[in-house]
Structure 1
């Protein structure tokens, strides 16, 4: 039986303020992030914003808030400067990826079951023909002509490799569903499909089979988490662990847990994420994994991103903490007014043309931000 919670008062003389700390009493059922619930999020002062955001707006506001909280405004201007200096290359990559995801992968369906088998055969045939063409012909098909300062061959060939891998995985899933006796599509198949999709953006992924469990110390408790995958940089050489930017959670059930539109005096209002019973179990589990990976984030222990993958639908998630939040949590306390805030984007279905396009800018900028932070760290290290 949990002991009675008694507030602990801590006086900070420098700021002439009083902080009320409340001990955290965890149920053994919550010692793994796979068991996290909305009730536990509330107990840990983790607030889930009930609005939904555009993926790129959520991504941008996430790193900006994180750097502002750390009083590192120069990182914001530095990243913007890097984008400006590499604008030509970014425009080319963007055009290349847009054409590949809209014209080469000419699929606009809601689910795997809706994709005709002949469509996949046609796409695979087109990719095979593309592989046989000379480099300059590939560039004309996948992107647009550009100046010689950009390594077009590398950009094109790298994209084409992962484009083919993505199509192969999707084709496998379609064939399983089109059999006389359709086979079940497993969670692992959905995970592989998403990972091949984001690898088109030259993103480095560490999967569960290659990682040790992450641990969240909460007082005397140790909460274990092994995410499905983590987005990391392999170029951060000065600090071995602080190189993660996003956590991936996959759930094969693509059904959304959304409320229906609410009718009011002004008519229908936007759908909102439920809160537990409220907040969905997969989202709670992803937040737990994000908390575990947070200490190794390239953004510092102030923020990290996540991808909640439900079937072929992807939700971008951001987590930003207040000053002192993680220190209090590690000591087994939460403080009044000191919290972690989670925001979620709208769902983006990677089987729809619109869904793929909605993720392009976010994934491209995430790759660039990770590279910028790691390059800067390597330059600053002795």
Structure 2
């Protein structure tokens, strides 16, 4: 492995870790899980996009955003708008007062498709909007905050406030957004039924490949000079600023990258689950997304994926098995991680897993030598190693 690739993947250990994750989500899960459970894992992996972005933004950039649900929701809503328009063709909506518009618009006595919805007839525009709309909002927030050197807890509070405002706005504009119910009853993508088991399987693999692509992009950023500057800004921001670097621009950039990752996750969530609602935009889901990164390890891109899988599996298992106690059990899980594994699953692996593997790989050798009275050692009696099992 050449030095560039070695640096990019994080050495042999990093390459093995990425290969294990790829094998797990591309081979093991599809082989072992039925269609229903695999679709649930696919939903969990859409949250992993947000967690990977938070590793870049929070773990390495030192920017704790408590409003990533904003970008997850915007990406999901952009995709949902295209799918809803496709499901609202005049033939399917002929019983409405105004055929050809989404049902919730008809219920709210809107008689014409709003201007903001019309470009979403195009799938190309929709894919473009899934990325550009959240990134544009992140750019505005970032420039407004970082250029004025607003950071730390103040930035976290501002992102929470924006998440709350956007949630209230979506719910209040029921005729244009579907209100508290969100955008539901999504059926096809370019005429392809996304509700079938076969479609959900294909979407799962598309989701997994996109996630691995985002991880590779994250690794590329962290292995570059920008990655080193992010760590330097996190630890000694003033020193980096006095060295002549525009700290605000770097913060805006990594914040926008995290927003783009979240938006991709939101769009894939809409495709796999079949709806999007304001419940994924607010403060509570945004905080949960931070927990995914914290449990997996806020300094590990791969750990963020495992964190998202573990926390969401815990939510599903506890809610099914202990419906009255599952919130307490989830709280106990979070407290245990913070108290005993402050660096998450990745930190636990670094502190214990590597040592354990190192002990397994070690092979102690016993050297046997017999000295000749005259001084030299004959060839038949030269030191030799006896192989022993660990």
* TM-score for both structures, normalised by structure 1: 0.29
* TM-score for both structures, normalised by structure 2: 0.28
Question: Quick check: which has more Rg, 1 or 2?
Answer: 2
More strand by share: 1
More helix by share: 2
